[in-house]
Amino acid sequence: MQVGLHIRITDSLHALVEKALRLEIPFFQCFFSIKNKMALLRPTEQEIADFVGARRTHFTNLYAHGSYWINLASVDHTGHYALDRELQLARSLEFTHMVVHPGSAKGAATKQAGIDAAARSLNKALKKQPGIQVLLENTAHGNMTIGGDLQDLAAIYQKLDNPERVGFCLDTAHAHVYGYDIVSEQGRADFITLVDQQLGLARVALLHVNDTHDGCASKLDRHHLLGQGTIGLHALQAFVTNPRLQHIPLLTEPPVIDEELEREQLTLMRSWYTHQQ
């Protein structure tokens, strides 16, 4: 299994490609905003052409991560505009997937209203932007946030006009802090069975393998280096190399660390597949 990395764009698409090549990864994920700037990247025609050339030569799948200001579950029915812009950019750069969090039903009377809004937003955006796959990611938070509970993702999926365009991304840190037990052997087995029942394992197209300082059910979303958190190396390795999940591409989304540490995290993940427990 080949592993990937979430890379923050520091100044340009060119620097992003250079970094991915230095780290020898076959695929990566990124946001379409420059680190610490609340604005979408605006590449020139030439930058797009250069990126596409490199992308075709060096990489397999490419995952864009939708900006955190996209709220598909917004009940004022505007959630699809922000997604539409980012899907358009992703397509022009020949990304294969866009990972999105469903968002929050904040301001709505019920969580169900947010689930309905998220499905409507996805239906609109997918019709305008053919080709690219959207991956709905499980999230860390509770209350009116949609997607911590796997049932929320299943409920959105059931309302899609084009379900073949949508899959799922499972984040280990989010599952843990939301309250699913993936640390104990029995808990992990039960969680994987639940994923299969609610979402269908065949629809899980990406794993985000992350650790966290925070405890199970803390509802806090703070990633930490693999093996230095409350999930731990044994549980993370056992999860991603479980026979039911081991065919799924995975990447890690570390906190801000230097490139040497990122390289070490990748080496660690690769070793899981050569020394299976």
Q: Please, what is the minimum distance in Å from the beta carbon of residue 46 to Zn ion?
A: 32
Closest CA to 160 of 206, 129, 124, 197: 124
Q: Contact at 8 Å (CB) between 153 and 114?
A: no
DSSP state, 62?
E
In this complex, which beta carbon is closest to Zn ion, that of residue 165 or of residue 208?
208
Give the nearest distance from C-beta 53 to Zn ion in angstroms: 29
Nearest distance in Å: CB 268, Zn ion: 18
Say what angle helices 150-158 and 111-128 make with each other, to 10 degrees.
Answer: 50
Under 8 Å CB-to-CB from 186, ≥6 apart: which residues?
A: none
- E-assigned strand segments in the chain: 3-6, 28-31, 62-65, 97-100, 103-104, 133-137, 145-146, 166-171, 204-208, 211-212, 223-224, 250-252
Question: Cβ of residue 99: shortest distance to Zn ion, in angstroms?
Answer: 7
Instruction: State which residue, 32 or 51, has the beta carbon closest to Zn ion.
Output: 32
**Shortest separation between residue 251's beta carbon and Zn ion, angstroms:** 9
What residues make contact with Zn ion under the rule CB under 5 A?
171, 208
- Asked if residues 137 and 96 have their Cβ atoms less than 8 Å apart, the reply is no
